Structure 1
Amino acid sequence: MIIEGAHVVTVTGEEYPDGHVVVDGNRITAVGPGRPERGDHTVVDGRGCLLTPGFVNTHNHLFQWVTRGLAADNTLFEWLTALYPVWAGIDEHAVHTSASGALSQLALTGCTTASDHHYLFPRDGGDVLGAGIRAAQDVGLRFHATRGSMNLGQRDGGLPPDHVTEDLDAIMAASEAAIDRWHDPSPDAMLRVALAPCSPFSVTGDLMRVSAELARARGVLLHTHLAETIDEEDFCRERFGCSPLDYVEGLGWTGDDVWFAHGIHFDDDGVKKVGATRTGVAHCPSSNARLGAGIARTRDLRDAGARVGLGVDGAASNEAGSLLEEVRHAVLFARAVGGPTALSVRDGLELATMGGAAVLGRAGEIGSIEPGKLADLALWRIDGLGHADVHDPVAALVLGAPPPLDLLLVDGKPVVEQGRVVTVDTEAIARECTAVHRTLLEKAS
């Protein structure tokens, strides 16, 4: 395939206003200005379009897609308390349906690689982790599934109800089984696995410690929520006598194989520590704003050396589920607190692409348009009313209205064409999502 005539943004510094990209199989083989020799390649006319790397979503809870719109005006701890009884009713079918809807929406907003933090495993729910993985395979996105966990229930001073927690030994056995069954370490992997104890207020220190030991023994990454709210800060200082970051650092949870979701409430020393250890942060601006949690210090974290990407977070705290919207919000929120130069529009695009690739340990494979990298590409139409006279095509994408997505390639294969997901029936998924939503509310009533 040759995509030609588009404004090509490589995210490595080069841009080609009338450029081309050549794809052979699942790899990019050439990038440059003008038209290449066509040979027997299929040609895609990219005139009037902006071509970017596919976006990388570094934090999500796919099962939440079917519980959108609940507890819409609550704080994080209030929101969790209201939703745990609803989530307790999920099962394999509910998760497959929810993940299919969330991943389809991600694809329509430019996402080619998605990470899911699944931490809820009802005792009679079936293979809920596998259900999310099957949905990603159906939609066709590159997928990083995390085997999450909660073992600190209310009776032991945690936030989750006891009936949605698991035993530590069961968690570790399931975590090792997930790595054995699903993790693919190969350079062009469509599926990888990480371990992800949920948060300081829902897991024990023992679980954090042994999860880190297992992950490092098996060569997989580590993920958890951290420094999302002031409530979490207060919880950790009261229970552990230190900040959330100091707490998890003492359990082995910093380094280039770790990434935190949110990372809003780091002080100056915390920012330096995250940067010095090359720990990753999944910045989720829309969810953070929806829950009133605050604004992450994105510029400071990047300057300190942290790996920073974007995440939509769970759809129960970000009903849009749009990764493109996170690019816009990351730029606007950073400027709202740090001035107009805090993040440029190209910084925002980098967060969604190379930043996310670095967070997931895949900067050598995805995240930029370079020969040898995987063919994960998004072709945005910007010659319509909403964008045609915007001087800078990247500003049109980041600051303008969401443009139509003409083509989304994942591993060289079309997932979206002319604004429509071509791999699954999204209308049927929407109907099933509605049915599952109603069933979960009935179960919880």
Structure 2
Amino acid sequence: MQPQALKKNAPTLWLKSPEGVFTGNTQNADNGVLVQNSHIIELVKSGENPKLPFDAIENCTGKVILPGMINTHHHFYQTLTRCVPGAMNKPLFPWLTFLYKVWKNLDEEMLYSATKLAGLELMMSGCTTIGDHHYVFPKRLSHAIDVQVQAIAELNCRALITRGSMSLGQSKGGLPPDSVIQSEDTILVDSQRVISAYHQSTLSHPSPMLQIALAPCSPFSVSKELMQQTALLANKNDVLLHTHLAETEDENAFCQRIYGARPLDYLEQCGWLGDRTWLAHGIHFTPQEIARLGQANVGIAHCPSSNMLLASGICPTLDLVNAGCRVGLGVDGSASNDCSNMIQEARQSLLQQRLRYGAVDITAEYVLGLATKGSASLLNRTDIGEIAIGKQADLAIFDLNALRFSGAGDPIAAVVTCGAHTVDKLMVAGKWVIEGGKHYAIDEDELIIEHQKLAKKLQLASI
């Protein structure tokens, strides 16, 4: 079964929404948008009809249209270990140490199910481009990226999969057990293999559906040589770089103890300080380091729920933006967030960032901008993340006809502050993939049953 595309006898569709459209820019589209094939071809102004001819109307009265959101940091496999006793109520390093004992038992069936479930959860929350950072490679999971690509094909969304890596196990002073790491030669060879097999560059694909990036897990799980070699490999293949950085003060202290440098200095030594790089978290930077990040045009994936759950701190998003950094939004792994919901993450960002910057500068539009155009900028994509003529028709439609929205005066703000949860419809490249809150090809109930069975199997294996 294929997702519903626009019919041949109706090539132009007017998504009519008198309630409002968040374009992600300053253009007026308060009465909907026109979509033809995979592109947006007109923004319809308030109270007006389209100027271009159209063949069908999708009535979005009582609904808000947003650009499809873009998740820039996640660990899909962690959906199998939400709220695990023994891991809860711990800061980052003890949390990781406990869970690595569980994750070392991951297999292909588990990762396949987790990828499909996490991807669907993201899509149901308005995400049209899903991103994952997979870095755990026990022996039975050596082809993890291939497994994820197969699962994502069933979702029919855009995806950026980062080929993560860990080479420093506990025997060499790292955090993870040796059973989940790989040799550096293995990592580099497989990184090239998955790029060659799956990466769609913007040169050969005007609007790629699947891209690969390279992502050593963190400064405390790989060697300096691997960081440097990965940067060279990314440059050779023109792909992006991703890692965790400055998430906690413990990490800063670790880098200074092991490498004699703060994380940002270490990153620069490894050849990572440039516009090819985006970092997860970016909380504990000094003002001088923030200025350096901006000058280098480095990107930051802001993950508020995870940062609060692990008590890591608050990302200085406005300082980073004002310094020239690209800043987007990520839900982070489901074991540190216990949720993969992008629209809820936008609300969490609104609330958390107001604690740091106040109510005037942190608005619903600001956090929606992080989740859409901001996130697109992290991935160096200009074809998605906003509603504008010529952009891809990646659209999330939220129905405001619910108790939580009753009485709301500003529809766009209502989606964030009143707590939207699930899309009514989701369009990717001009195709409906979710309608009436249901994915066109995936039985949600069957997926949950399978996923829960595998989660129990994984957790029991570690006892």
Aligned pairs for 1:128-277 (under 5 A) are: 128-185=144-201, 186-277=205-296
Compute the displacement of 1:280 (Å). 0.3
Please give the secondary structure, in 1, of the residue aligned with 2:338.
coil
Distance 1:231 1:341 in 2: 33
> Equivalent residue for 1:24?
36
Matching residue of 2:5: none
8 Å contact from structure 2 (residues 350, 364) kept in 1: yes
Query: SS of the residue aligned with 1:114?
Result: strand
Partner of 2:3: none
Amino acid at match of 1:426: E
- CA distance in 2: counterparts of 1:245 and 1:167, whole angstroms: 25
Identity %: 40
Mapped partners of 2:220, 2:21: distance in 1: 45
Deviations 1:404-442 (A, max 9, x none): 522110111112212222231111110011111111112
User: What's the counterpart of residue 8 of structure 1?
Assistant: 21
Segments of structure 2 that go 5 or more residues without pairing to the other structure are: 1-12
Instruction: Give, in whole Å, the separation in 1 of the partners of 2:115 and 2:421.
Output: 24
Q: Is the 8 A contact 2:307 2:313 kept in 1?
A: yes
Q: Is the 8 A contact 2:376 2:384 kept in 1?
A: yes
Report the more deviating stretch, 70-79 or 384-393: 384-393
| Deviation of 1:113 (Å) | 0.4
**CA 1:204/1:259 → structure 2, altered by over 3 Å: closer, same or farther?**
same
Identify the residue that residue 111 of structure 1 maps to in structure 2: 127
Shift of 1:153: 1.1
SS across alignment from 2:194: helix
Structure 1: gaps spanning 5 or more residues: none
Post-superposition CA distance 1:133-182 (Å, at most 9, x none): 22222111200011100001111111111111110011000000010000
**In 2, distance between residues paired with 1:441 and 1:403?**
28
Do the aligned residues in 1 keep the contact of 2:42 with 2:52 (CA within 8 Å)? Answer: no
Amino acid paired to 1:194? A
Q: Deviations over 1:112-145 (max 9, x none)?
A: 0011101111112252211212222211120001
Maintained 8 Å contact 2:65/2:397: yes
> Could you tell me how far 1:218 is from its partner in structure 2?
0.6
1:391 is matched with which residue?
Answer: 409
How many Å separate the matches in 2 of 1:391 and 1:429? 38
Q: Which residue in the other structure is 1:100 paired with? A: 116
> Which among 68, 71, 77 is matched to residue 57 of structure 1?
71
Instruction: Judge conservation of contact 1:382–1:403 (CA < 8 Å) in 2.
Output: no
Relative to the length of structure 1, the TM-score reads 0.97
Count of matched residue positions in the alignment of Structure 1 and Structure 2: 443
1:444 and 2:439 are equivalent in the alignment: no
2:56 alignment counterpart: 42
Rounded to whole Å, the distance in 2 between the matches of 1:158 and 1:427 is 39
Q: Report deviation, 1:348.
A: 0.6
Residue 38 of structure 1: CA displacement?
8.3
Give the corresponding residue for 1:295: 314
The aligned residue for residue 378 of structure 1 is 396
The question of whether the paired residues in 2 share the 8 Å contact of 1:291 and 1:317 is answered with yes
Q: State the one-letter code of the partner of 2:167.
A: N
Q: For residues 215 and 446 of structure 2, what CA distance do their matches in structure 1 show?
A: 31
- Distance in 1 of aligned mates of 2:14 and 2:441: 21
TM-score, normalization by structure 2:
0.93
Asked whether 1:434 is paired with 2:452, we answer yes
Matched residue of 1:414: which SS?
A: strand
Give the counterpart of 2:99 among 78, 83, 95.
Answer: 83
Residue 37 of structure 1, CA deviation: 6.6
Does the aligned pair in 2 maintain the 1:2–1:38 contact within 8 Å?
no
Amino acid at match of 1:348: V
Displacement of 1:20 in angstroms is 2.0
From the superposition, tell whether residues 102 and 410 of structure 1 become closer, same or farther in structure 2 (CA, over 3 Å).
same
Question: Aligned partners of 1:236, 1:13: CA distance in 2, in Å?
Answer: 42
**1:409 to 2:422 alignment:** no
Deviation, structure 1 residue 284: 0.3
Pairwise CA distance, 1:106: 0.4
Q: Is this contact kept in 2: 1:375–1:411, CA < 8 A?
A: yes
Matched, 1:310 2:335: no
| C-alpha RMSD over aligned residues | 1.4
Moved more, 187-196 or 388-397: 388-397
Q: For residues 166 and 21 of structure 1, what CA distance do their matches in structure 2 show? A: 48
